[in-house]
Amino acid sequence: MKRKLLGTFLSVAMAASMLVGCGGGSSAPATTDTGAAEETATEAPAAEETTEEAATEETATEETATEDTAAGGGKVGVAMPTKDLQRWNQDGANMEQQLKDAGYEVDLQYASNDIATQVSQIENMISSGAQVLVIASIDGDSLGTVLEQAKEAGVSVIAYDRLIMNSDAVSYYATFDNYMVGTKQGEYIRDQLDLDNTDGPYNLEIFTGDPGDNNARFFYGGAMDVLKPYIDEGKLVVKSGQVEFDDVATANWATETAQSRMDAIISANYADGTKLDAVLCSNDSTALGATNSLEANYTGDWPIITGQDCDVANVKNMIAGKQSMSIFKDTRDLAAKTVEMVDAIMKGSDAPVNDTETYDNGTGVIPSYLCEPVFADVNNYKELLIDSGYYTEDQLQ
């Protein structure tokens, strides 16, 4: 009798709970079958045990996830702009390897210099569970909407090498001292022409990078702060008249674009044998374009040519006397520092920075870590590039 009363009581209780659980919506009628109720009553302890086991497993999973993050676990999305330039391939490979060595899952994507592709890749990284994004943007002003999604999802963002503009979702910036890059290029031209001790005039032409890349303005600004006083004095002459940033910018840092512009400059100003003394190029892809054009069209004494990144083709040109110098930015160092920043974020700490004043992205100053660049030329490239293991001698043959 007691067993039958218990079965009836449980049947009524189950019906009531079903109505509450459905929030007043339509539900199947509650059974009044005593046998079924008895069976349910018999199985109830097992169901409770299953719930307890699931809760225990969920707690264990959460604890494991926390331990994984503390030990270096978690997912990191790495968005690179393109594979067309050697340096981004090296940056991506260094970043991926060092993050994996630190215990992180890595989603590395290249966007073929297409903004829509990069946006889509970042969206996918967010939706697939990336906890930190490391982004070398194609256009520093193009990621506001997708980074708002990252912010809402609690995903931290490190701008890598190129500052992402006008987004308060950017937590940190990891880069080389880009103003110093330009300063070193300008100083190299100043010193090689001995501008402080000779009268000149010397002829100079200028090539910088993509107008959508915030770094290009720092490279240009650093170099021009050194060279502009000599231009104003008349000791340096830009015969093309192209001096302002907008006039000397090179879309996508493209070698072909730089080469085409140099073709036009030579044709209009140096085809009669006028000497070109120096070409300020902000990076190696623009330097390669200028060099290609000079080889095809210029007959005068070879000018000083600057560059940046120490790409293989440019180091070979440096050894051959066709390019004077290139700024060496050891991306292994930048990758290592970025991994330190990721690790700190994952563990709930502040990332290491050494600059909290310089880089304002339009929403405020972004805490930054700046690695120091050095210049390589024919006199020290072996020490910097070969002895350090960055390249092998065979690669530069």
Tokens of 57: 């497993």
Cβ atoms 80, 88 nearer than 8 A = yes
Judge whether residue 44 has pLDDT over 60.
Answer: no
Domain-located, residue 213:
yes
Residue 221: band (very low, low, confident or very high) from pLDDT cuts 50, 70, 90? very high
pLDDT in tens, 272-281: 999 999 999 9
Taking residue 51's Cβ as centre, other Cβ atoms within 10 Å add up to 10
- Final residue of a structural domain among 329, 353, 385: 329
Say if residue 166 is in the same domain as residue 182. no
Nearest by Cα to 329 from 210, 182, 187, 224: 182
Domain-located, residue 5:
no
Say if residue 95 is in the same domain as residue 152. yes
Dump the DSSP string for 9-65.
HHHHHHHHHHHHHTTT---PPPP--HHHHHHHHHHHHHHHHHHHHHHHHHHHHHHHH
Domain-located, residue 24:
no
Taking residue 270's Cβ as centre, other Cβ atoms within 10 Å add up to 22
State the burial class of residue 337 (Cβ atoms within 10 Å of its Cβ: 0-12, 13-18, 19+): buried
Mean pLDDT of 323-343: 95
pTM for this entry: 0.76
- Final residue of a structural domain among 329, 358, 382: 329
Say if residue 311 is in the same domain as residue 231. yes
pLDDT in tens, 250-262: 999 999 999 999 9
Domain-located, residue 381:
no
Dump the DSSP string for 122-171.
HHHHHHTT-SEEEE--SSTTS-HHHHHHHHHTT-EEEEESSPPPS-TTEE
Taking residue 103's Cβ as centre, other Cβ atoms within 10 Å add up to 14
Say if residue 314 is in the same domain as residue 200. yes
Question: Which pLDDT value is given to residue 161?
Answer: 93
Residue 66: band (very low, low, confident or very high) from pLDDT cuts 50, 70, 90? very low
Spatial CB neighbours of 129, under 8 Å, sequence gap ≥ 6: 75
Say if residue 141 is in the same domain as residue 270. no
Question: Which pLDDT value is given to residue 6?
Answer: 38
Domain-located, residue 238:
yes
**CATH code for position 336:** 3.40.50.2300
Say if residue 185 is in the same domain as residue 325. yes
175 vs 182: CA distance, rounded Å: 14
Domain-located, residue 6:
no
340 vs 351: CA distance, rounded Å: 7
Instruction: Report how many domains make up the chain.
Output: 2
154 vs 173: CA distance, rounded Å: 18
146 vs 87: CA distance, rounded Å: 25
Tell me which residue range forms the domain holding 113. 72-176+332-366
Domain-located, residue 187:
yes
pLDDT in tens, 166-188: 999 999 999 999 999 999 999 99
Starting from the edge strand earliest in sequence, which strands make up the sheet with 304-305, in order? 236-237, 202-207, 278-281, 304-305
Domain-located, residue 395:
no
- Torsion sign (Cα): 346, 350, 354, 357: positive
Say if residue 116 is in the same domain as residue 142. yes
Say if residue 223 is in the same domain as residue 291. yes
Say if residue 100 is in the same domain as residue 157. yes
Say if residue 312 is in the same domain as residue 221. yes
Say if residue 217 is in the same domain as residue 241. yes
Say if residue 312 is in the same domain as residue 203. yes
Nearest by Cα to 307 from 250, 244, 382: 250
